[in-house]
Structure 1
Amino acid sequence: MTITPFAELACPLDGSALHNKGTSWQCSSGHSFDIARQGYVHLLPVQHKRSKHPGDNKDMVSARRRFLNAGFYQPIADALVSAVFPENVSETCISCLDAGCGEGYYLRYLANNAPSTVHLTLMGLDISKWAVVSAAKQDKIPAWVVGSNANLPVLPGTLDRIMCLFGFPVYPEFARVLRSGGEIVQVDAGPDHLRELREIIYPELKEPPPSIAAAPEGFTSMGTSLVRYSLSIPDKSAIADMLAMTPHMYRAGAEGLARAAELESLAVTVQAVIRRLRKD
């Protein structure tokens, strides 16, 4: 197995091809984007930002790095590998984007557990600069990019897989950059995901939204699988990290967060739904 950085990048200003010029990426129109010393490139124009520092902040990124590197979600990562590389996979070269990569745990895990016969070209993209900085520090091989799923800085028809874990899929953009027959591997929280934690921090639980049955326009469903297991969180710091890496940190009230802070340990249900969607 060989792994190289994905290089079919597009200028976020005019959509033309970007070319690596040593310490920067440049397009034929003269737009230039410097490669940061950590090894990533910032391709999120200010006009595409909704705030000065969109996405996860430093504390959330650090919490996610500690929690995921401790292996608490490894069964999800294993199921992801199986979905990206199904048993009947025949491709020998696969280009893969992690859309909303966070600090890069799942992309690193995929690279470390890919079939030995596959050549991978990898790219991780996140709207959070702090997440991409953390990812680039931990693994120098993939192309790490600050960008948005709504305006992917990727040339049309150049990807074989897009992973989107607990994130925000933008199907028209995903369809644009996938090759015909390319696939989205989407991972979403199931209705019971972290239920025990949610029962502690919220006065009452809302009914989960109805499951999505139909494939989005331009895609065919290739099946759905479920990952479900009981997880023991051993101490206060791990509970705090789990909470900090979820939206619940900002949705829960002060009383609920105080109850969570008092916990010495916690057993929770982990439930993730994995969908494979093939571009028609």
Structure 2
Amino acid sequence: MNITPFQALACPLDGEPLRQCDRTWRCAGGHSFDIARQGYVHLLPVQRKRSRDPGDSAEMVAARQRFLAAGHYRPIAEAVSRAALEGLPDDAMAHCLDAGCGEGHYLRELARFADGKTSLALLGLDISKPAVLAAAKQDKRARWVVGSNARLPVLPDTLDRLLCLFGFPVYDEFARVLKPGGVLLQVDAGPDHLRELREIIYPTLKPERGGNPETPPGFTLLGTETIRYALKLDGAQPIADLLAMTPHLYRASAEGRARAAALETLNLTVDVRLMRFERDAASASS
């Protein structure tokens, strides 16, 4: 399988190209960033952190890892992988970033789906150090980076595909790092996503927003796909893992979380929207 680490990293302090020298990445401005023994690199300057340990905790990462490894979201991973590989040439290396990669599940699935037929240079980025650490421990083929979508440590016009799955899109940054004609794949929760769980943990549900979001500046909408299926969770552990990997863990009251914790089985609706946006040539970086 022709999977290699992404190389076109940028210094998070001055935007200059980073070059790897032994166990360190350096830029011409003299900034250097050591590669951890697990293989990842920390490119989130302390002055850009909003908290001491931003992003998912180690416990949340472990919950996500168990839930995704059980295959509960496999249809989502397969749909994203198909969309990411569509249109890529067989005779050239394609560069792909998962912005908000968590513990790396979707990039690993993309590599598996490519099945050696497509050459991929992969980069996984997350603001959570425990998430990136977990990803680096599981897969040495990709480049794993602690960083922020608000200022991606990636050189302009270098990506063919960018994944933002249940994450926090920063469209001007995404447009900056994608090549003209590159594709952003964005996955968001649909109106019925995990409705049964939400009905248990909340007294009332907020009205859902109708329709698709507006196409962001610098992009053209290529298409929208709905991935919808029934999912049954048996046992308290997968139910607790699902809750831990969603924003509902903190939004729900103590009473709502207790009702979820008392469940031994849960029938759910998975309802997500996969949108494909092409980066316009007119938005090329200056």
Shorter chain as denominator, the TM-score bin is over 0.9
C-alpha distance after superposition, 1:159-202 (max 9, x if no partner): 10000000001000000001000010001111100000000000
Amino acid at match of 2:77: A
C-alpha distance after superposition, 1:185-239 (max 9, x if no partner): 0011111000000000000000122333431111000000000000000110110
- State the partner residue of 2:277: 277
* Aligned residue-pair number: 279
Amino acid at match of 1:55: G
* Residue pairs, 1:55-70, within 5 angstroms: 55-70=55-70
Assess if the C-alpha contact under 8 Å between 2:88 and 2:94 holds in 1. no
C-alpha distance after superposition, 1:86-138 (max 9, x if no partner): 2x443532100000000000000000111533110000000000100000000
Inter-partner Cα distance in structure 2 for 1:165 and 1:227: 13
Inter-partner Cα distance in structure 2 for 1:36 and 1:104: 17
Instruction: Tell me the TM-score normalised to structure 2 length.
Output: 0.96
Inter-partner Cα distance in structure 1 for 2:250 and 2:65: 19
- State the partner residue of 2:283: none
Amino acid at match of 1:200: I
Inter-partner Cα distance in structure 2 for 1:170 and 1:115: 30
Inter-partner Cα distance in structure 2 for 1:212 and 1:21: 45
Matched, 1:90 2:89: yes
5+ residue gaps, structure 1: none
Between the two proteins, what is the percent identity of the paired residues? 62
Amino acid at match of 1:2: N
- State the partner residue of 1:45: 45
- State the partner residue of 1:245: 245
- State the partner residue of 2:102: 102
Matched, 1:165 2:165: yes
Amino acid at match of 1:224: T
- State the partner residue of 2:203: 203
- State the partner residue of 2:54: 54
Name the SS of the counterpart of 2:30 in structure 1: coil
5+ residue gaps, structure 2: 281-286
Assess if the C-alpha contact under 8 Å between 2:41 and 2:144 holds in 1. yes
- List, as ranges, runs of 4+ consecutive aligned residues in structure 1 with deviation greater than 6 Å: none
CA RMSD of aligned residues (A): 1.0
Amino acid at match of 2:30: G
Shift of 1:15: 0.4
* Residue pairs, 1:114-263, within 5 angstroms: 114=114, 116-263=116-263
Instruction: Tell me the TM-score normalised to structure 1 length.
Output: 0.98
Amino acid at match of 2:100: G
Name the SS of the counterpart of 2:273 in structure 1: strand
Amino acid at match of 2:121: T
